[in-house]
Amino acid sequence: MTGLTPALSAPASPGARTVTDAVRRAAPALLAFACVRLLSLTVLAVWSRAAGSSPRQLLSGRWDAIWYTRVAEHGYGFTLDLGGGRVHSDLAFFPLLPWLERGVAACSPLTAADAGLAVSAVASLFAAWALFLVGERVYGRRAGVVLAALWAALPVSVVQSMAYSESLFTALAAWGVYAVLTGRWVWAGWFALLAGATRPVGAAVVAAVWVAAALALASGGRWRTAWRTDRRMLLGAALAPLGWLGYVAWVGVREGGALGYLRVQGGWGNGFDGGLAFAAFVGGRLTGPGYVSGLVLLAAVALVLWLYVRGVRQGQPLPLLVYAGVVLLLALTAKGYFGSKPRLMLPAFPLVLPLAVALARLRTGWAAAALGALALASAGYGAFWLNGTGPP
């Protein structure tokens, strides 16, 4: 078992020189991830049958999945006027997932909705692969395997199997951060560009690329000769924001103003207020008859913040901390749809690294038992969640 301390200076594994070797090396992580997800889907199928609902409908035909499918089938332009200034526009949804749904549906017998499920399934495996590589590089191979399995067993991980954009975004973000850690700047820029075309929080990947590049150029005064010696780094940094900026700018032109995307989000009741609305929501729970749920919310937020601080103390590389910090900040300071916050934090995989390190230090049997228990709890909660209120 390799040491569980940061090892950023370690060279890439000689055995990972080809795609086949790389897949073989990641196979334990991918197998563990697939087993956890299969357990979740099995429990969902059994639960849904008992409840008289359709697992396929739950995974591909409700909430945001409907909006993505509609964009894939008809393009942008649909709005739903709810009155009182609440106007739901499909422009709130970034385009990469519906583009992929349309492309897969066009060259296969799948519907756009089923194509969304296929994209999420494939993307989640690529996300697990990237998580393994990040964990392996920073804390060793065993931690990488556990990290992939843990991400599959998070309480709201059923979203990874839905026709939502979380799996696609996490895959692009994780590969982008890994590219930064390994000095592959142009790849990092492309992954950040695609992540920025997938979700608004793509800005977190851009921040990770930019901060890492800025620090690298600042060390030893490299910025003075960057145009001659670090052109690939500069190119990666230039590519990084184009996906996010391109879509926001397009919406601005369509809506007739630079703040067009913010107005679209406002119509959904979203936006950023520094966390005031979320604090008021939690406070309302604490002072009302449902004070227990308020206490649970406080405990959950405290746990998430503790995991982030723990990552800092463990010496996680700065790109990981920047990425996770921005995802966490945007999730906690957004107003509206408070029930969505757990899934909004799902892409913040570096928060799980301290737990992965702790489990990786256990004997194999104990670690497997702990992961199995978490997977069962996650599968049960996911089935209960989707057959109930579910993710808005």
Q: What is the pLDDT of residues 141-197, one digit of tens each?
A: 999 999 999 999 999 999 999 999 999 999 999 999 999 999 999 999 999 999 999
Asked if 134 and 324 touch (Cβ cutoff 8 Å), the reply is no
Euclidean distance between CA atoms 210 and 234, whole angstroms:
9
**Angle formed at CA 64 by CA 62 and CA 68, multiple of 5 degrees:** 105
Q: At what angle do helices 96-106 and 112-139 cross, to 10 degrees?
A: 120
| Tokens at 64, concatenated | 């945001």
Computed over every residue of the chain, the mean pLDDT equals 91
pLDDT value at position 360? 96
Please say if the pLDDT value at position 279 is more than 90: no
| 54-68, 105-119, 182-196, 326-340: segment of lowest average pLDDT | 326-340
The per-residue pLDDT for 280 is: 84
Q: Would you say residue 8 has pLDDT above 60?
A: no
